[in-house]
């Protein structure tokens, strides 16, 4: 009995209650300070961009910069509308292509796949999410661009060329469609992972109740699970869009980088991140060129922040 009593006392915290409370308070304070570090860093980044972009905002109205259609820094023209529309086109195409297979894949992994299949698929998705963007860009340059030029452009423009969306004027493989395909492959693992985790939050009683009244598994998914998790699916799509909106290397390698407003899927584009990557550090002797590029970075920061904030609000509401 003495041995067991010694072992029991050895595992017991014999410090006074005041010392334990003091240690807990210290840990709480330091945890709170560390938690605020990302917010402080974000604040410093935003302030630095605002300070560096302020000269061009004092020279030109913000509306004229955002909706101007001519980009000629040497002539003092800094219209960003071609780059904004290029970003929106490529991001929209990527999200539209990525969402349906992402939802179906997440449903299969969560509701249909056996444990062994799930253990194989999930690591593959994690690897896809971890591949560097430049690798996706090289793949797009070697595979997607030739495929778009030799297969999709003749096929879609021949069958649907009467629609402005599929009209082709001097088409090449470097296009909005090529950039959207690359982005879709990049953001699919993220969307799948979020929807998969959300499906696991659905109470199993809902599935059992639906099956008990005679519904098939697919009817249960379509009529019960999907309506229940729809806010979470929207949040996953918003997160994927924010990832696509700020993507740089992979996109600039396949979209052509021509500063004009796209009018079809086969037109070239010049997204905002590619504008910064291609031009920052060059020709900085041109007045306000540096400020214009940093204002572009500020616009990207604000848009991505808004996207992520919307996604967090939707997910928080879903959890509640």
For residue 313, how many other CB atoms are within 10 A of its CB?
Answer: 13
At residue 283, the pLDDT reads 60
Closest listed residue to residue 239, CA positions, set 228, 251, 231 = 231
At residue 160, the pLDDT reads 75
At residue 21, the pLDDT reads 77
**Residues 182, 145 contacting (CB under 8 angstroms):** no
Closest listed residue to residue 251, CA positions, set 126, 93, 124, 72 = 93
Q: 194-250, pLDDT tens digit by residue?
A: 899 888 888 888 888 888 888 888 888 888 888 888 888 988 898 888 888 888 788
For residue 40, how many other CB atoms are within 10 A of its CB?
Answer: 10
* Dist. CA 6–CA 10, nearest whole Å: 6
CA–CA distance from 211 to each of 219, 229, 230 (Å)? Answer: 9, 18, 20
* Dist. CA 273–CA 84, nearest whole Å: 10
User: The dihedral of CA 293, 55, 309, 96: what is its sign?
Assistant: negative
The domains of the chain are located at 60-319
At residue 205, the pLDDT reads 87
Positions in the chain short of pLDDT 50:
1-6, 8
pTM: 0.83
Whole-angstrom Cα Rg for the chain: 26
At residue 4, the pLDDT reads 44
The CATH code belonging to domain 60-319 is 1.10.3720.10
């Amino acid at each position: 009995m003495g041995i067991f009593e010694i072992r029991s006392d050895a595992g017991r915290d014999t410090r006074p209650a005041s010392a334990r409370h003091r240690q807990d308070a210290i840990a709480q304070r330091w945890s709170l300070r560390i938690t605020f570090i990302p917010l402080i860093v974000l604040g410093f980044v935003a302030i630095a961009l605002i300070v560096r972009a302020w000269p061009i905002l004092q020279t030109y109205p913000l509306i004229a910069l955002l909706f101007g259609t001519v980009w000629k820094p040497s002539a003092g023209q800094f219209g960003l509308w071609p780059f904004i529309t290029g970003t929106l086109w490529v991001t929209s195409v990527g999200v539209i292509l990525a969402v349906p297979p992402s939802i179906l894949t997440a449903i299969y992994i969560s509701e249909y796949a056996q444990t062994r299949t799930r253990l194989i698929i999930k690591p593959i998705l994690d690897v896809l999410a971890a591949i560097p963007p430049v690798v996706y860009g090289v793949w797009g340059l070697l595979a997607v661009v030739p495929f778009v030029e030799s297969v999709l452009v003749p096929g879609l423009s021949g069958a649907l060329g009467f629609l402005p969306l599929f009209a082709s004027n001097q088409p090449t493989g470097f296009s909005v469609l090529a950039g959207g395909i690359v982005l879709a492959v990049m953001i699919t693992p993220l969307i799948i992972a979020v929807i998969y985790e959300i499906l696991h939050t659905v109470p199993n009683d809902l599935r059992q109740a639906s099956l008990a009244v005679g519904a098939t598994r697919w009817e249960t998914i379509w009529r019960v699970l999907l309506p229940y998790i729809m806010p979470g699916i929207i949040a996953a799509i918003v997160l994927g869009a924010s990832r696509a909106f700020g993507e740089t290397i992979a996109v600039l390698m396949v979209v052509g980088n021509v500063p004009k407003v796209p009018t079809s899927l086969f037109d070239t584009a010049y997204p905002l991140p590619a504008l910064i990557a291609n031009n920052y550090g060059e020709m900085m002797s041109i007045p306000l060129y540096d400020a214009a590029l940093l204002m572009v970075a500020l616009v990207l920061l604000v848009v991505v922040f808004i996207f992520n904030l919307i996604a967090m609000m939707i997910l928080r509401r879903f959890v509640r």
